[in-house]
Structure 1
């Protein structure tokens, strides 16, 4: 089991490292304004993903029957298709009205939403079946192919939409090459609670909206070029999360799911071990980023992106905390404690919004606004970890079913 988990983490790291290298290449090939359009589209797609998939990627791994797995995936794919079509409609209207910027952002967001949402739903099925080797290969291929296609698109056209298509095509090829036919399950209804689904979607949407608040609000407050700086800085500061985040989440779900299905009183202990390992790793990464990013950004990304290094250093601490918190937070959805996660994320969204808008209006300083956002995000991640541990203790107290 440890070997399979190690392969999963390694494959994710290599695949995402390719995407990080692609960001560096894109920064060299694209004008800051075009990079800004792509980053805003990416931020919108990430914000919409929880609503598009109904957060069913967190429910599928703990489903109790093949029929339930099939039903949940079917519902998720239908919901995803509906949201993608709506975003494409926005892009079409913007194009007819002659608003190139809005049309480009909307079209890129729709393409990326399809890529991200479809992948997480199908990956959840692999997690449920314990097919970690297939998941590892998919993570690796998705990163390799996606990076190559993005850079190729930038070389050919320099268009944000074409780069988004590169992401989608890379994900589709990775899924196709790792597709394993599964015998059709008997018809089954998915066990969905409307209240639970709404709370899950709301909490996850607020979670990612808080993460993208700085990128989205920088556009009206400081301009699209500044938004491009934030987007690239988040990719740089979040590189460790990008390298391992998806795999860490997959590993966390695969380790926690048996404790959720059959409580044995060891859930909190398992979480504490994960927190200790992830916290130690993320602390070292944060220190390295604070020291190296301001010195190396202009050299790596080009003189136009020198500001990115300072922003990346400012965001190092919250992104380090995200490495620890993000893989564990979906546990609250797995144990039907969506209301707890929702309350935590409402507070977090309020803190992020107040920090960005308040500091921007009071000071008009871009870097101070980034710093205020980083402080607020860090405090909220710590609160999330406390909440997760409390709910794990609560779940451990459930009597073992004999």
Structure 2
């Protein structure tokens, strides 16, 4: 059941906070109601970069054809999609199928907009638990992940070689910092990342926060302070540029692509650009403080089925979702979107086709959902305080300890 207008408006505010901090039009056509053959089904996604003639546009249309209907696809920027979904729910014309960024799922669920996958008969048993976890609340999944992307460290082979650094020697924070020191001494630049005051900044800080053993319910723990202290030390020593405070993930990538930096923290989605950068590169997992791979946040979308007044439409919607996410079709869908598949079987196929994806598959296996662990709709408030603390500490306004103490206090008030 759709909840009250007040609940929807509250959820809309939460989504606005989350998305403006970050990382369609339409509605159900009356034709084809009650799941009858033919008719038009609406499909919203956050990929305006793909038009109808793109591989992705064709895949969506194909899935409609296989289900015996026409799919009317509309693409919005990620920032707009969640709020449009809430507005459509208020007006009773939500799309039949909708792809949303994984942190938004919990907010839409709280507003009563999404169906459980179990109620629709969608099978998610083969999906890795850490990936499905980003869209799971109280033990129930509310969508099927199309795939996942995440973060790792790209490195410039020549810059490291000239500085006498072997990428294989980087196992923990100490060895990474030692490498940055050598790179700077050799006249090059160390590492670039995004510490901007949006969700992108939190997204990039999380591997270091989690890699120290930090917990999002306690931002000012000793582990959290250690992670923020690491970043501040890098900026203060000149191992990372001061403009990380303004860097988006895109502008951070552009810095790495100049060829002057040893490392760039970025995502799977930059692989195509990496191949065009004009220098040899490699990829390693982000190291945890004391060694091993740090947990990284899962990015990527869930294919969801919004609540409809006409429940007879769900049968066709289920066919469309299955067409995009079934084991037989995931390889094509994820290749099109440059995602790591959410199942180990398809990941194996991806690596066989493209060995460059091997470190990314490993990173996704260690990844965590930002709203997992029961955080749900509390995450946007916590994230905002996290990136505010990062900005405060790196700019020199407060010490890491003081910045995170303020952040924790504000997060507790905002989540209460």
- Fold conserved between structures, TM > 0.5: no
Report the structure number with the largest CA radius of gyration.
2
Q: What TM-score, normalized to structure 1?
A: 0.23
| Structure with greater strand share of residues | 2
